[in-house]
Structure 1
Amino acid sequence: MAQNHEIANEVLEAVGGRDNIASFAHCATRLRIMVNDKEKIDQNRVENIDKVKGAFFNSGQYQIIFGTGTVNQIYEEMEKMGLDGSSKEEVKSQAKQQGSGFQRAIRTFGDVFVPIIPVLVATGLFMGMRGLLTQPEILALFGMTKETISPNFLLYTQVLTDTAFAFLPALVAWSAFRVFGGSPVLGIILGLMLVNPALPNAYSVADGSAQALRFFDFIPVVGYQGSVIPAFVVGLLGAKLERFLRKRIPEALDLILTPFLTLLIMITLGLFAIGPIFHSLEEVVLNATTAVLNLPYGIAGIVIGGLHQIVVVTGVHHIFNLLEIQLLERTGANPFNAIITCAMAAQAAACLAVGLKTKDKKLKALALPSSFSAFLGITEPAIFGVNLRYMKPFVMGLIGGAAGGFLASLFHLAGTGMAITVLPGTLLYLNSQLPMYILCNGVAIAVGFVLTWVFGFSDKMLNEMKISGK
């Protein structure tokens, strides 16, 4: 096996040399390179470098998949060779100038929501733990019933599970200010103003126990607990307003006037215009999402489970973050997670079938670890390194995802959180749904594996690709 220094040197040569690298960075699994000329990249050579699990253009970047840990070492070796690495944010900034307007918009949307996902992951796990600990069967092991649980303990779990969603607008506005070039602390304050306890609580207004305030006899004003789109728009416009003001207010007054005017103007717009308008839009989006997920006979599972990984390939899957956050905030459940988990499990199984069936040592060494990563919820190595390269395994994985998604939709399976899937995702289904979760994913895995083994791959395909030079 080649040493990391040799691999880094091969990567450098295969992408057209150091003069062709505008900037480079890395994320958890991929080396992200901005190149000056795409035509100078030798794709076949890159894919045949030791430890490379796949390479592709996405979001304006040439991304080489190495996997967790390995990518850090390759990145360090490239820095030792005299290349100046950039931050991931700098590379993303350059990439934002490329692609269609829709792709750029989705990337920006993702940049806002991705940083707050870890908090929502933790909240989902807390919900799963509470569901597990309050199950009658678990309580019986300790000689307890739901009636004997300490109210203080339930209050403690409520703090763990409700805080992130109660102050969700503050998180969204903070992240939006950060992405659009404003002062994040102003975003936090604006978000907190949207959920100030002085305003009627949105949940209380929804259940009829409180009434919205009426300004000018026709503008309804409530708190925006759990709202996403109003906070996003407030953050976007607020950051741009702050930048506008800083360019025009004298430096001597900037510290006083800029935050004062930004907060005053934006909270006025947020409560009286942006909030009412975009909260209505948010309701439309949520109702449409719920309607699709509630389609009868498991149709939603077939469609979403069968197509989700295609959306991942296009790189615009971050749009689903909004939908999942809305589902969790309003219902406490995330049926979308259950379906896409099956889609990912099926791709993992298809990759596993390739790894076990092939006699080619390099492909086996690539497919088996990639399959394991996919079972942990990271499907890119499996998709781009193996399944898409031979195409049929990818298609068989899509069929497996549709089969598992069909059952998940039919049985109304829903997670308590988001962003973790397949094996780690079991933690979101501890509230008595675990057997069904295992069944749905088991079906997806079985279908994806068997179809790939029987119809989706043979070493003859590998040999044909070698002969054709692909």
Structure 2
Amino acid sequence: MSNSAQQIVDAVGGAGNIASLSHCATRLRFQLNDASVVDAKTVDSIDGVMGSVPQAGERYQVIIGGAVQSVYNQINDLPEMASRGGGGGQSADDVKAAARAQGPRGKFAWLDNFFEFLSDSFRPILGALLGASLFITFMALMGTLGVIGNWADPRTDLPPSWQFINFMWQSVFIFLPLMVAYNAAKKVGADPWVGFAVMALVMLPGFSAMVDSPAAYQANIAGSDVTLVDIFGIPLTIFNYGSQVFPPLLMAGVLGPLYKLLKHLIPENVQLIFVPFLSMLIMLPLTAFLLGPIGVFAGAGVANILQTVNEFSPFIFAIIIPLAYPFMVPLGLHWPINAIMLLNIQTLGFDYIQGPMGVWNFACFGATAGVLFLAMRDKEMQMRQTATGALAAGLLGGISEPSLYGIHLRFKRIYPLLLVGCLVGGLIMGIGGGQVHTNAFVFTSLLTIPAFDRLGLYTLSIGAAFVVAMLLVIFFDYRTPEQRAEAKAAAAGQVEGGDPAKPQDDTAAAATSVAAGGAGAAPADPKAAVSDAEQAKASQWLAALGGPENVSQVDAVAETRLRVEVKDSAKVDEAALKSAGLPGVVQVSPGLWHLVVGSDASQYATAMAAKLGAQPVGG
């Protein structure tokens, strides 16, 4: 894959355009100096690349799939990456911190950061979770065949050999709070081992054993009966924190600011000793007495809401979950729901969300199968490779990211068809009474089907979702007529280098460019395309940029952003730009500016193009 690594670097603008690089479970995450120079078509055509996703703030993601770690290493091993003096091998945390420092990430940056925090707290342990889910599936299969008893009930007396196999998945899920605490603490800039140690306190066998202490007593808190023990006169709530994820997330959310504050207050030469010590001195009792119980109750509250909906109408619940997930996953909202699933298993002994969730997953995989069929029929080599990898990751691993980011979010026609598959599968599950349960957290794939009860109903529901989504994509196609014609022409070798073919996906931004000396032409009648207000703003912005004579080029690189090249950045008046109504102004590099215009970037680019055309640059 070394050739592919070099091709990816070249297609995103070369090593000099890469500010930093990290990766998640399936994607390379580039922070670029200038994302407008990325050749998206070339990226998508590279062998091993399953697709690409442009993002705000000069960020660009390349979907690789399961081989992402290898490609990441190969890119960092390239001579030009190794010699560029940093950036390529930064951690994901460093990458995102640098990205935030460059400028605004949008109107709801705090929400973006929150979901990023959730994602990065779980992402590094996805492999362990996936491996554990396959052990669970094996135990479920043995239980279904009658080889063993109820493996999920701790009261079941399993033979030692089967107990050992059961421990193989419990080692992940029981100690999941420690893993989450480590990742979450690292994410917020604290010592991850301090976060681990703080969470380890409430997971000590002796801590949970205090429930049997002669000094323990019962109380009702928030409608729940809990066990308390007085510690120096202060009541301590005793919980079993195994598999809990809300407490470590809450703990890390407090530890991060505290750690930074202590590093600010304590002299550098003694920080190594006193920052961890004081952090633990504060966080250990704070987590045990306050944050841990709050996390438990918060998770229980959300779980109770979902359980109430499920008990009120399993039919409605079986439909809502599959229809909601296609919108929740891209936003990162599925992470809190995953935490609720784990909580359900701990408190109820089973989970009722994963069954309906499986309907969404298989509708997603079915749409990918439809795309694969069309790609094979039309001899689209690149899409066939993308869809094949995404489908394998889905059906065997239960991972939807390659399908979602590599295909579905790139083509607007897929989502409505996918949602019909979700609806049909949810209706079947709902008509069947809903209430499809599993005794453990699993990734919903072909391999984990035996982990669910009501096996017939679950299989019928996910099968219907898969088939309906696949047939709809095959019948209606996932491409517009123009995209289909281009794909066929490309497959036949008819697209020539000079042909101004349309972008392959609906989300690609069309750029309007005006360069010095007439390199870019303005529309024949720009006033017909833009309003008087937009023309007035364009005049104000040009003046604040140092005048038309200081502007070399203007591009609309996204729906909300203009890319402006100037001759002398010293002449740019940022205050005047902002007072002229610009939501954001960012200098990306010397002579290169990005103007966040709010909406209709192409309209503003057209207006500025006309004015630059009327007064050519450079004499």
Deviations 1:61-102 (A, max 9, x none): 311123333773586267435124324524344345545210
DSSP 3-state at the match of 1:286: helix
The answer to whether structure 1 residue 359 and structure 2 residue 378 are counterparts is yes
Alignment CA distance shift 1:334-1:351 (3 Å): same
The answer to whether structure 1 residue 189 and structure 2 residue 205 are counterparts is no
- Taking the aligned partners of 1:70 and 1:191, their CA distance within structure 2 comes to 31
The answer to whether structure 1 residue 176 and structure 2 residue 204 are counterparts is no
The answer to whether structure 1 residue 428 and structure 2 residue 448 are counterparts is no
2:315 corresponding residue in structure 1: 298
Match of 1:65 among 56, 59, 63: 63
**Deviation of the 1:105 alpha carbon:** 0.9
- Cα contact 1:196–1:223 (8 A) shared by 2: no
2:237 corresponding residue in structure 1: 221
The answer to whether structure 1 residue 280 and structure 2 residue 297 are counterparts is yes
Give the length in aligned residue pairs. Answer: 459
DSSP 3-state at the match of 2:369: helix
**Deviation of the 1:4 alpha carbon:** 5.4
Alignment CA distance shift 1:59-1:407 (3 Å): farther
1:373 corresponding residue in structure 2: 393
- Taking the aligned partners of 1:117 and 1:65, their CA distance within structure 2 comes to 17
Q: How does 1:37-76 map to 2 (within 5 A)?
A: 37-58=34-55, 61-69=59-67, 72-73=70-71, 76=74
Match of 1:444 among 459, 465, 487: 465
**Deviation of the 1:187 alpha carbon:** 2.4
Deviates more, 1:104-113 or 1:36-45: 36-45
**Deviation of the 1:191 alpha carbon:** 1.5
Deviations 1:154-208 (A, max 9, x none): 7656655655555444333333322223333332332122234444569987999
- Cα contact 1:349–1:448 (8 A) shared by 2: yes
- Cα contact 1:345–1:445 (8 A) shared by 2: yes
1:108 corresponding residue in structure 2: 117
Matched AA of 2:202: L
**Deviation of the 1:426 alpha carbon:** 2.9
Alignment CA distance shift 1:71-1:121 (3 Å): closer
Deviations 1:232-256 (A, max 9, x none): 2223323443443344445676565
DSSP 3-state at the match of 1:182: coil
RCO higher in 1 or 2 (8 Å CA, sep ≥ 6)?
Answer: 1
The answer to whether structure 1 residue 266 and structure 2 residue 266 are counterparts is no
Alignment CA distance shift 1:121-1:249 (3 Å): same
Alignment CA distance shift 1:274-1:63 (3 Å): same
2:21 corresponding residue in structure 1: 24
Aligned-residue Cα RMSD (Å) equals 3.9
2:601 corresponding residue in structure 1: none
Match of 1:414 among 425, 433, 437: 437
2:425 corresponding residue in structure 1: 404
Deviates more, 1:149-158 or 1:48-57: 149-158
Give the TM-score normalised by structure 2: 0.63
Q: How does 1:111-190 map to 2 (within 5 A)?
A: 111-135=120-144, 137-138=146-147, 152=160, 156=164, 159-160=167-168, 164=172, 166-190=174-198
Give the TM-score normalised by structure 1: 0.81
The answer to whether structure 1 residue 310 and structure 2 residue 319 are counterparts is no
DSSP 3-state at the match of 2:80: coil
Match of 2:350 among 330, 333, 336: 333
Matched AA of 1:222: I
- Cα contact 2:300–2:343 (8 A) shared by 1: no
- Taking the aligned partners of 2:241 and 2:156, their CA distance within structure 1 comes to 31
- Taking the aligned partners of 2:460 and 2:328, their CA distance within structure 1 comes to 25
Matched AA of 1:82: E
Structure with higher Rg: it is 2
- Taking the aligned partners of 2:393 and 2:136, their CA distance within structure 1 comes to 25
**Deviation of the 1:55 alpha carbon:** 0.9
Deviates more, 1:460-469 or 1:226-235: 460-469
- Taking the aligned partners of 1:47 and 1:14, their CA distance within structure 2 comes to 10
**Deviation of the 1:360 alpha carbon:** 3.4
Deviations 1:375-424 (A, max 9, x none): 23333333344334443233212221232234446432233443622223
Match of 2:95 among 91, 109, 113: 91
1:393 corresponding residue in structure 2: 414
Which stretches in structure 1 are left out of the alignment for 5+ residues? Answer: 141-146
- Taking the aligned partners of 2:340 and 2:156, their CA distance within structure 1 comes to 37
Deviations 1:349-378 (A, max 9, x none): 222223223423334444344333332333
- Structure ranking higher in strand proportion: 2
